[in-house]
Structure 1
C-alpha cells in the first residue's frame, strides 16, 4: 500500500527570515514563498527586504518586507508581533544574518572592539531571537528556529578569529537551546555550510577562498539553491525529531 507524499509546509505556514535581503536569506525566502509559506523578509536594508518580498508576491506568493537590525531586540520584537498580526501566528524563524569580522590577521593583530562586534552580530542574536520567538512558540506548543552557522565554527579558520569564534558559539547555543525546549514542540537547529557562492564570498580575499576550497572533497562551492533547500527542510514539520543539531553542508569537508 502506498503512503501519501508528505506535505512539507501545511497551508497557513508563516515564517520569518532574518537577513533575507540577499544571498542565503534571499534564496531561502524565494523558495519558501514558492512553497506557499507566508514569508516576512527581514533585513537591515528595508529596500532589500521589500525587493525580495515584491519578487515573491509577483510570483503569486505571500510576503512582507521589514527593516530591522538583528542586534536590536525591540525592532525584532516589533517585526515578530507584526507577522503574528498579519498571519495569525509564526511557525519558524530562520536567521541568516551575519558579518565576516576581521580578516587576514592573526589573533594578536585583531582589536577587541572588532572582535566583540562580530560576536554581537553573529552570536548574541541567538539569544535575542529566542527571547522574541520562544514565548509565542511555547503558547502554541510548536516552533522552529534555524541559525546559519559555518564550517568555520566547527573547525576554525585561521585569520578569521572573530568569525570562527562567533559561529562556534552559535553552535554551542543551539545545542543548549535544543535541549531546553525539546519537550515543548520547539526545535532549535543550525546549518554549517562551507563555501557558498554568494556576494559574501566575492568579498573574501582570494587566498581565503582558495584555502577553503582546497578542503572540500567535492572541489566546488555550494549553491544557494542547495542551502535554501536544507534550511527549508530544517524549518519544516518534517524535521520534527532533530533538535540541538548542526547540519552539514560542506561538500564532504565535515563528516562528523
Structure 2
C-alpha cells in the first residue's frame, strides 16, 4: 500500500480492537499514526463526544491526512420498548455525534491539501437491524448515511470518505455484548466464525491508501458472507 510522504493518520478507538489493529497495520506500512481513545493505551486521551476536545486535538496535530474513526459502543441489549431514552441518546452521542465531530474537524484541512482519506466504522447491523439492539443498529445506519452524504460533498476535492460494515468481530467491545446477540450473528454468518480485527484492518488500510481513487461514499462489507446487499 502507498500513502503520501509524511501523511498523518488519526485513529480513534485506537487503544484496542479494530482501532488498534488499524494503527498497527498503518504503522507497518510506514504511516505516522496517532491513536486516540478514552481507554488507556492510546497516544491521546479523547472523548469523541466533546467538540472542544476534538477540535483541540486536531488543531494540535495539524493537518490530518487520514482519519479512521473506530471509536464506538454497543449500547443497550434489550427490547426497544425497554430501552431508556438516556441509553438511546448515549449510543447516538458516541456512535453518531462522535463521527460527525471528527469528520467535521479534519475535513477542512484535507480539502485544503487536496488529498485525504476518511474511513468510518458502521456495522452489518446498520443493514440487517439486530433484534434487541435498536439503538446500535439505528446509530450505525446513521453512520452509513453520514458517510454517503459526506462522500458526495467532497467527491471532487481529493478527499474520499468510505465506511466499513463488519459482522461480529473478536474485540474487547464485543466482550460486553449479549452472548445471545453474538450467537445469532455467528449463526447468520456463512463462514461460521467471527471476524478478526486484523482482517478488518487490512480492508481499512487499503481504503486509506492511494490505491483507492475512484470510490467514495461507499459501504464495504466485512461480514464473512452475511451481507446480502
**TM-score normalised by L of structure 2:** 0.96
Out of 155, 158, 161, the position equivalent to 1:182 is 155
CA distance in 1, matches of 2:11, 2:197: 15
Out of 5, 11, 23, the position equivalent to 1:29 is 23
Residue 36 of structure 2: aligned partner: 42
Which has the larger Rg? 1
RMSD value over aligned CA atoms?
1.2
2:46 is equivalent to residue 72 of structure 1? no
CA distance in 2, matches of 1:42, 1:10: 22
8 Å contact from structure 2 (residues 74, 174) kept in 1: no
Residue 244 of structure 1: aligned partner: 217
Partner-residue secondary structure (3-state), 1:146: strand
The count of aligned residue pairs is: 229
8 Å contact from structure 1 (residues 13, 36) kept in 2: no
Q: RCO (CA 8 Å, sep 6+): is it higher in 1 or 2? A: 2
Structure 1 residue 235, shift from structure 2 partner? 1.3
Residue 131 of structure 1: aligned partner: 104
CA distance in 1, matches of 2:158, 2:228: 28
CA distance in 1, matches of 2:61, 2:31: 12
Residue 55 of structure 1: aligned partner: none
Find runs of 4+ consecutive structure 1 residues off by over 6 angstroms: none
CA distance in 1, matches of 2:114, 2:99: 20
Deviations 1:16-45 (A, max 9, x none): 001101111011111111111100111113
Out of 96, 102, 106, the position equivalent to 2:70 is 96
8 Å contact from structure 1 (residues 11, 36) kept in 2: no
CA distance in 1, matches of 2:228, 2:159: 26
2:3 is equivalent to residue 9 of structure 1? yes
8 Å contact from structure 2 (residues 147, 161) kept in 1: yes
CA distance in 1, matches of 2:45, 2:172: 20
Residue 18 of structure 1: aligned partner: 12
8 Å contact from structure 2 (residues 126, 138) kept in 1: yes
